[in-house]
Amino acid sequence: MTDLKPVTVLRGVGDALAARLHTLGVETTQDLLFLLPLRYEDRTRVVPLGELRPGQRASIEGEVLLTEVVFRGRRQMLCKIADGSGFLTLRFFYFTAQQQQGLARGARIRCFGETRRGPQGLELVHPEYRRVDPRAPPPAEEHLTPIYPTTEGVTQARLRLLVRQALDQSGTEDLKDWVPPAVLADSRLPNLREALLAVHRPPVDAPVDLLMSYRHPAQRRLAFEELLAHQLSLKLLRQRIQSDPGWPLASDGRLKSDFLAALPFSLTAAQTRVLREIEGDLQQPKPMLRLVQGDVGCGKTLVAALAATGAIQMGRQVALMAPTELLADQHAQNFRRWFEPLGVAVALLSGRQTGKARSTVLEGIRQGHASIVIGTHALFQAGVEYSSLALVMVDEQHRFGVHQRLSLREKGVVDGHQPHQLIMTATPIPRTLAMTAYADLDVSVIDELPPGRTPVKTVVLTESRRDEVVMRIRTAVLQGRQAYWVCPLIDESAEMPYQAAEETAAALAAALPELKVGLVHGRMPPQAKEGTMRRFQEGHVQLLVATTVIEVGVDVPNATLMVIENAERLGLAQLHQLRGRVGRGQHASSCLLLYRSPLSSMARLRLAVMRGTNDGFEVARRDLELRGPGELLGTRQTGLAQMRVADLSRDADLLPRVQIAAESMLRDFPAHVTPLIRRWVGHAEQYGRVG
């Protein structure tokens, strides 16, 4: 079959060319068929030289009048051609003696390239060309010409030839269509072979605008199949994980009741609903796989703590993994405040712990004395042994690679039992994207903020108004409030963010001598950083200057003003996270976005989104439009973004049909599932969020 034939079966492909094709992801003849064109060129008409205009990409033909090698700053070959309607110069900076001989006077050649103005009229630089017989010139191309992604040592002409061979050699049996007609019913999409022929050999009358925008039915058919393969891959991953038994955690709820009784407030309706969904999963004899998403400040951490009470009451351990030391410390403070009065031990395991302190923590985890273990990736390092890990919680999941989450899950496997997995993110994901990206997870949404949270007013200012901003900080602090000043500056001069933060802190301290100014950046010793953060939380520091290290994990209700310098350099998700550090108390809060001119169109759009909405889900939707799914999900490290045809934002309308098709394939055509996944995903089925 085509998916099993190495590319070396094609004429002209030896080991050297096969190695170059490998860099394009091409190892089999089927891979060639799914190496889809980036764009198309119209070479179906030979344009007379006299009709050419500068900047036009065209197919031309003419007779060589003169070919010479000249030295004009550098060695180059000039070839003058004519066709009776006009003249044109071909310019080559790289050439061989054989090429020079082939372009001798009187030769007739057909070329393709982009015309530009030269010293002696219009010219083509390094065009594609071939000699033609003037007595029997070949017809113009019958199809639009595909332009493929290339790599060093593989020309467009060679790739087109190889794809043509692969198409010609792939019969119906060779190129199996794993998506049955019944699954494609009513979709008005072509079958696989028709789709591949249309994208590799589009006819002259093909709608170029649809092809260029990837909205042609043939491209949509391939996008549908690729989305279906990814959906099936995640569903199989979920089935595989849940085929192992979990730990049923059905306690009488006494610890949860004591926890709730100690809170000075009630849960929101959204928190209560999501907690009920989690508890329903935890009571099952199979591992929970649930994602909780919600905006900054919606109370996800509190829900996670309440979810942990059932496991703790039944004598099991809970692990909470955070992406940064700062966030792990914050979680440890919160969990200790909540749990230690209830007699529950909370351990913090960090990478910086050494010697006896680390040994003591590790022993407490191994013996089961620590019911809750909080830390960064240190939680799954060698030497960390759990007594009875039944629930794994991962905060800000998109910051972890899949292997890190897998490693933590494996720590909890005892007698074949898998721990439950609760994944949290404060980066809301649009529903259409979540349908595909998290097909292996049940999704809960906390779509309500606690009462008293006031919307943050966002203002966009040019940095020329910096002095006004400094005065605004003074006014806020004199009113008893606190402020952040974030410095994400990375100049072309290679100035580092921590240097910018140090300089900014010194300048602000000089401008505001009556204020206590603190500084936090990633290069500081952990103790110094934590000390400054603690003084800010306690109110002893009034203005905190920081790099984006404070993006997550800082909760200071008295902070009402956030200034972000060089805001045009940050993405929407990061800007929204930083803005979420204020507005956490009862007082009106503001976020001031300072920018440097000139703004790129992308930066202008991002700042307009921030000014227009506080809704994290709307920010995420716009972020998806602007950046695409790969960056929004952080999945460049997990593989999801490596789609060849499909685009989750462009093809979102296909997703409901993809979901239905996936259920149909698993139910009615199970033998087709694995080959389809192998075609599009390869053997990377474990790229999903799995713990």
Q: Are 326 and 553 in contact (CB under 8 A)?
A: yes
Element (H or E) spanning 551, and its range?
none
**Strands across the sheet containing 482-486:** 456-462, 589-595, 559-564, 482-486, 543-546, 517-520
What's the confidence (pLDDT) of residue 611? 94
Residues contacting residue 158 through CB under 8 Å, at least 6 positions apart: 12, 17
Q: What is the sign, positive or negative, of the torsion defined by CA atoms of 191, 193, 195, 197?
A: negative
Phi, psi at residue 676, to the nearest 5°?
A: -70, -40
The count of residues in the chain is 691
Q: Are 420 and 390 in contact (CB under 8 A)?
A: yes
The CATH number given to 45-140 is: 2.40.50.140
Q: Which residues pair with 422 in a beta bridge?
A: 290, 393
**Closest Cα partner for 197 from 142, 269, 127, 133?**
142
Helices (H), 512-564: 526-537
CA angle 568, 571, 574 (to 5 degrees): 115
Cis check: omega of the bond before 598, within 30 degrees of 0: yes
Q: Report the distance separating Cα 562 and Cα 483, nearest Å.
A: 6
First-to-last C-alpha distance (Å) of the chain: 36
Counting Cα atoms < 13 Å in the Cβ hemisphere of 315 gives 2
What's the confidence (pLDDT) of residue 595? 93
The tokens for 679 are 């075609």
Report DSSP state, residue 595.
E
**Closest Cα partner for 290 from 450, 418, 403, 445?**
445
Q: Report the distance separating Cα 616 and Cα 293, nearest Å.
A: 10
Counting Cα atoms < 13 Å in the Cβ hemisphere of 322 gives 22
**Closest Cα partner for 555 from 296, 321, 266?**
296
What's the confidence (pLDDT) of residue 330? 81
Element (H or E) spanning 484, and its range?
strand 482-486
| CA 617 from centre of chain | 17
Q: Report the distance separating Cα 271 and Cα 446, nearest Å.
A: 6
Q: Are 543 and 567 in contact (CB under 8 A)?
A: no
What's the confidence (pLDDT) of residue 149? 87
Element (H or E) spanning 559, and its range?
strand 559-564
What's the confidence (pLDDT) of residue 636? 36
Phi, psi at residue 567, to the nearest 5°?
A: -60, -25
User: How many Cβ atoms are within 10 Å of 632's Cβ, its own excluded?
Assistant: 26
Amino acid at 139: P
Q: Report the distance separating Cα 654 and Cα 652, nearest Å.
A: 5
| CA 253 from centre of chain | 39
What's the confidence (pLDDT) of residue 374? 96
The tokens for 240 are 């595989």
pTM over 0.75: no
- What is the domain partition of the chain in residue ranges? 2-40+149-213, 45-140, 254-446, 456-613
**Closest Cα partner for 545 from 518, 564, 572, 569?**
518
Q: Report the distance separating Cα 650 and Cα 632, nearest Å.
A: 15
**Strands across the sheet containing 442-446:** 346-349, 372-375, 317-321, 389-394, 420-425, 289-294, 442-446
Q: Report the distance separating Cα 201 and Cα 143, nearest Å.
A: 6
For residue 512, is it left (φ>0), alpha (ψ between -120 and 50) or beta? beta
The answer to whether domain 45-140 and domain 456-613 are alike in fold is no
Q: Are 572 and 601 in contact (CB under 8 A)?
A: no
CB burial of 151-185 (b: ≥16 within 10 Å; e: otherwise) equals: eeebebebbbebbebbbeebeeebbbbbbeeebbe
Residue tagged 């800010």 (tokens): 536
Residues of the chain with pLDDT under 50: 490-496, 630-641, 684-691
**Pairing assessment for the beta strands 372-375 and 346-349 based on DSSP bridges:** parallel
Residue range 254-446 forms a domain whose CATH class is: alpha beta
Q: What is the sign, positive or negative, of the torsion defined by CA atoms of 656, 657, 661, 663?
A: positive
CA angle 197, 200, 202 (to 5 degrees): 75
What's the confidence (pLDDT) of residue 415? 75
Q: Are 129 and 110 in contact (CB under 8 A)?
A: yes
Q: Are 399 and 321 in contact (CB under 8 A)?
A: no
Q: Report the distance separating Cα 664 and Cα 482, nearest Å.
A: 57
Arch. (CATH architecture) of 456-613: 3-Layer(aba) Sandwich (3.40)
